[in-house]
Amino acid sequence: MDRISRIRHIIRWQDLYQEKKVIVSTYEGSEQKFTKLQGDNNLAQENKQKLTELSATLSEKITQEETHLDHILNQIDSMEKDRDNLKMSRQIKSWEKDMDRLAQDRAVIEAQFYYDKSKMGDISQELENLEGNLSTMSGEIGQLETHINGLKSETKDERKKIEVEIEEISSQFDSHFVEYFERILSKNRGIVLAEIEDDTCSGCNILLPTAFYSGTIIQSEEDSSLLQCPNCFRYLYDKEDITL
């Protein structure tokens, strides 16, 4: 393939890339939002799982504390009933000592019990809020997915036609060139060609080395190689060199 044919193919390839980019832009923003929502949803699900596990552990702890507290209260109640039956001073002192110990145990267990109950309330509220957020996100994800799929379905034939033509063009170049060309397309936002204007690259306005420009044409028609700007790496052409 001669140089002019290569340039013409590249121009068409560039145009097709831009056409596809315009089509994709109709749902690209929605896809980005969809991806973010899915990420947020996954994080919320993970947080819900952790809170649910913490809630189960805390619930078991509260049950144990409640059982322990009931046991202490029953002991205190039983000792209160036995108080009038105490006759000896030694028995009274022992009773008072046991009651002090039980009162301290009761205070510690009650403080932990009510703290854990309060914490459980916070977890329950957080889980409730998470459920609401997850429900909202699930609805938004469903709507976005329907919207995106609808747009993709509407543009399916058009995108397929562009992809087929791109494949036909790219098949005429070697794989190394195709890989490199696609990187330049992405890097330069789909603009891979630049006209030489007054010895400068119209893509980045850098003054080109004199070896790149002879004053009338870039190269002879027999030369199939493509010149590139040393700054932006776009492929260079002169409008007087070819009729596009």
pLDDT 10s digits, 58-75 = 999 999 999 999 999 999
Q: What is the mean pLDDT of residues 195-210?
A: 88
Percent of the chain past pLDDT 90, that is, above it, reads 59
Side by side, which strands form the sheet with 193-197?
A: 200-201, 193-197, 235-237
CB 31 within 8 A of CB 173: no
Q: What is the pTM of this model?
A: 0.67
| pLDDT, tens digit, 9 for 90 and up, residues 41-60 | 999 999 999 999 999 999 99
Q: What is the pLDDT of residue 149?
A: 96
Q: What is the pLDDT of residue 215?
A: 43
- pLDDT above 90 for 218: no
The domains found in the chain, sorted by start residue, are 3-176 (1.10.287.1490), 192-237 (no CATH)
